[in-house]
Chain A
Amino acid sequence: MNRAVDILSVVMLAAAGAAFCLGVLALGEQRDITALYWLLVGGLSLKAAVDMLRPSRSA
């Protein structure tokens, strides 16, 4: 199960990179709201990826 969460974390990291790419692309195509949307998705994906791998406080 831990391995599955690890893989999900990496998938979220890759998704964040892709979302940021789409955000910047949308900015270039004059779709500012879409750009903001993708940048927000990227930011949240990045946070989820890191939160899933955070060490426990007791360790």
Chain B
Amino acid sequence: MVKRTAPRRSARSAPKAHEHGRRRCLRILRALSAFIDDELSDDVCMEVRRHLGDCPNCEDFVASLRQTVSLCRHQPTPTLSSADRARMRETILQTAGGR
């Protein structure tokens, strides 16, 4: 009798690849920005970490989302020339004073 129950239990606990299914991935994907920004409570953060360790798809996804945020933070922008700065100031003051 003991022999009959043991194999069943081990068959149930052996996970197939990606057996946790897409539903958990979706739950994790919804929380990834908050995860990146360190805004999750400790227990939810642990849940996300555990899932990422277990799911290469989501781990890759969060890596690319982090890169996206990082690129946005570092994207350079043009600067204003001192001539433009002075010309725009004149225009603003003339428009403000002329009405």
Whether A associates with B in a native complex is: no
